[in-house]
Chains A and B, each alone.
Chain A
Amino acid sequence: MTMNLDINVEHLTRVEGHGNIVVNMKEGRLEKAELQIVEAPRYFEAMLKGRSFHEAAIITSRICGICSLGHQMGSLKATEDALGLEVSEQTILLRRLLTHGATLQSNILHAYFLAAPDLLGVGSVFPLIGTHPDVVIRALRMKRLANDIGDVVSGRAVHPITPVPGGFTRIPTEKELMGLKKRLVEEMVPDFLATVETMAALAGKIPDFTRETEYISLRNDHNYAMYDGDICSSDIGRVPDSDYLKMTNEFVVPHSTSKHAKANRSSFMAGALARWNNNHDRLCDASLTAAETLGLKPKCYNPFMNTIAQVVEAGHCALDSVAIIDQLLEGGLPNEQPNQEPTKFGTGVGAVEVPRGILYHEYSYDRKGRITAANCIIPTGQNLENIDDDMKKLVPEIIEKSKEEITLTLEMLVRAYDPCISCSVHMLDVDFIE
């Protein structure tokens, strides 16, 4: 048995953020197994203090290009909760549609661009363009349609502009929604089924590892909870979203500028696998069939299967989007104006599922409708302690493998969670070719 192991995968990638995997084993005893990370929205409160309720969602949606929709939804819900702004059934349907589009896009990209290269034994998605061009093109086609859901419903895909506190400034037209529906049925559903086939061929290569933990997601009585619900723990059941601090208990660790979190154990998992474990009974039949094909059991304790749970969930997002569009069309798409007359000025919480887990926003407002305090807890922060706990169990189990294999397995573990690593700056770094 290898008694000593030192792994230090440094990914100094951005101007101000990085994720490092550091593992240290000495004489057979694991001294350290941790993911060091810097996450972006740590100046959240400073950014929002003094801002009007009209601005909060616009500002927060710019925190991250990939999670902008999620931040916007969480922000709007927190503001509406704090100011007592009721929203219409149509608004909720449109927001659920937006959330499905964003989840679909992120899940698909993650499965194809991050996980598949590992399972095929190539370093990145780029070699796949040569060997599996149809698969890469399919992934991009699915991403594009998911983007287009955002374009149609929110005005533009990357940082939505029509969703505002109390509703929408523009309601999509019947023609636009019919167009989306047609493409979802004719393009997305076949692409989803092909995706299941592709992933089924790869699923056997997912590392066999089990660590049961606490799984936390939203849950409600009506649907597969993405946009709203109570906080649901596999350990203690449902608690209202206003109790989110009790379900996150942020704490500081020396190896990360990002806070870690825990609820009823040393750590918990949020994200697609948690949603699957807590809410699989709410998924559509096509997703349940996909889960069976892909070997995802009703209770799954293998964090590497998070990717498979994302694929399964993507099918639900696509098919439920069709159902939501039908409901919207049945409602006649009334041209409602957003309800922006506050009935109170207090504190409110918005909890939404984003691809990586539950995102919490909490704001307090003064009587002028200006933010006096703000808090945001992102899912990556919630998952960090769980990743460390996974690594502590995983490393001794695979210690007989080569250092390279151990490193790759640990990277795959981190990738399964798709953490937000300093997402906020995308400056180009160029050398001119002389």
Chain B
Amino acid sequence: MKIFAVGNSFYGDDGVGVAVLERIREADTFPGADLFDAHTDALVLLDRFMPGEMNVIIDAADMGLEPGSVRAFRPDEVRVKIKSDHLSMHGFGLGETFILAEQLGTMPDNVLIVGVQPQRIEINQGLSEPVAAAVPRVISLIEAEATE
């Protein structure tokens, strides 16, 4: 299994993926799993998806739910809004990465996105209360999916 975190831990709840990854690392929840912090460069995933394995991506996601809500979904279950402004490479995110991977035929079969609804995305270094409380639920959810 490969577990990716996407997001920036200096922007509040955008760092939820990194927080989950650290918790998994500390507790060695998934021995043998390859953990990778992609930070804000989602394009890195293109090189690091593991075909034939379960690829989990943890990210803050605006799903229109209550802050701290956790939801796991497959890429084909959602419409990821492409926000790239094409003025800058800084606009390339997970949505663009999925399109590239799909069109190039390198999208692994088994991709699970675990989205956490953020409360605040602003510069500070901590997670908000509801999102911090969601961290163990994210891990349980991955555990459940992994054993399915």
> Interface residues, chain A, CB within 8 Å of chain B?
11, 13-16, 18-19, 43, 47, 59, 62-66, 68, 106, 109-110, 113-114, 117, 123-126, 129-130, 133, 136-137, 140, 143-144, 147, 156-159, 411, 414-415, 418-433
Contacts and interface: CB of A to CB of B under 8 A. Distances in A.
Main secondary structure of the interface of B (DSSP, over half): mixed
A426 B8 contact: yes
B2 interface: no
B23 interface: no
Given A129-B100, A158-B38, 4 more contacts: A15-B121, A126-B100, A426-B94, A430-B62
A62 B38 CA distance: 11
Contact of B89 (A43, A47, A62, A109): A109
Given A110-B89, A414-B87, A418-B88, A428 B39 contact: no
Interface of B: 6-11, 14, 37-44, 46-47, 59-64, 73, 76-81, 83-95, 99-100, 103-104, 113, 115, 118, 121-123
A65 to B, nearest CB: 3
Contact of B14 (A68, A126, A414, A426): A426
Contacts of A430: 61-63, 73, 78-81, 115
Contacts of A65: 8, 38-41
Given A63-B10, A157-B44, A427 B61 contact: yes
A424 B91 CA distance: 10
Contacts of A423: 40, 88, 90
A190 to B, nearest CB: 19
26 contacts: A65-B40, A66-B41, A66-B89, A109-B89, A110-B89, A114-B86, A117-B86, A129-B100, A129-B104, A411-B87, A415-B86, A415-B88, A421-B85, A421-B90, A421-B91, A422-B90, A423-B90, A425-B121, A426-B6, A426-B8, A426-B40, A426-B94, A428-B94, A430-B62, A432-B78, A433-B77
